[in-house]
Amino acid sequence: MELIGYIAALVIGLSLGLIGGGGSILTVPALVYLLGFSPVISTAYSLFIVGLTSLVGSYQFYKKGLVSLKTALVFGIPSIVAVYTTRRYIVPAIPDSIFTIGGFEVTKGILLMLLFASLMVFASISMIRQKHKPGGTADENMGRDILDEHEQPKDQNQKFNYGGILAEGAVVGTLTGLVGAGGGFLIIPALVLFSKLDMKMAVGTSLLIIAVKSLFGFIGDIYNYEVDWSFLGFFSLLSIAGIFLGSFLSTKIQADKLRTAFGWFVLVMGIYIIGKEIFF
């Protein structure tokens, strides 16, 4: 199982390199079910792994001029505050035993895994239903699915909707803090709607936001838990190696069918986690 867990680290990066996103949602299940970490520690470690891999991915977009640093700053501030506060204070304050229904006890770990599995199901449905466009990344196409009813901007004249940005940043930051996932499919529509970025720029900018807020969230965890830095470093390096391998293979493999297949896989995993946490 441990070997499969390390292979999963490669798959997480491979997904980001091949289809431009989605792989980070496998990080917590890999850490919990394959490597035996508790859900709370797994969401903490996931923040570091997701943050580091997203940082590498955002650099690829930055070199192409597809990252808006101003937007990342405006959206990132409320998101960083929310994720740090969630990891530093809210998650530790959740009681180990929350409530009991009959003979079933809902613990902190079960609650976090159910929240995470629900996010997996939502993301997978977006990936399966997405309207593919040649060259689009996974998060980009998921963003298009959410934005079907809205006209995308035709120019780069930004007009920030600060109220919307603050609210969305706080919500996404809190969600990231609770489940340890990046939430790119939620950030991208917000950047298009509230910051008037085109889709490509929104994807690159979202990766930078995910990287910064995830790493700041992990800083909040350092005060609460003992970190196995050697494991975390090795797992993250495998994931980053997967990114470069995936980028190389992306020129040789049709990505659209991979996205749909990956969406079905994530859906099955999400349903499995819900069933396992409730019934087994």
What average pLDDT is seen over the chain?
A: 82
Answer with the residue of higher pLDDT: 207 or 234: 234
201: its two tokens: 């720029």
- The tens digit of pLDDT for each residue in 59-75 reads 888 888 888 998 888 88
Residue 237 confidence (pLDDT) above 90: yes
What's the pTM? Answer: 0.80
Going from N- to C-terminal start, the domains of the chain cover: 2-279
Percentage above 70 pLDDT, the chain: 85
Query: Taking a C-beta distance cutoff of 8 angstroms, is the pair 24, 57 a contact?
Result: no
How far is the C-alpha of 204 from the C-alpha of 25, rounded, in Å?
Answer: 18
How far is the C-alpha of 146 from the C-alpha of 83, rounded, in Å?
Answer: 23
Answer with the residue of higher pLDDT: 109 or 184: 109
CA–chain centroid gap for 128, Å, is: 17
- The tens digit of pLDDT for each residue in 207-232 reads 889 889 889 989 988 888 889 999 99
Residue 93 confidence (pLDDT) above 70: yes
pLDDT reported for residue 228: 93
Helix H or strand E encompassing 11 = helix 2-19
Q: Which amino acid is at 35?
A: L
Q: Parallel, antiparallel, or unpaired for β 97-101 and 104-107?
A: antiparallel
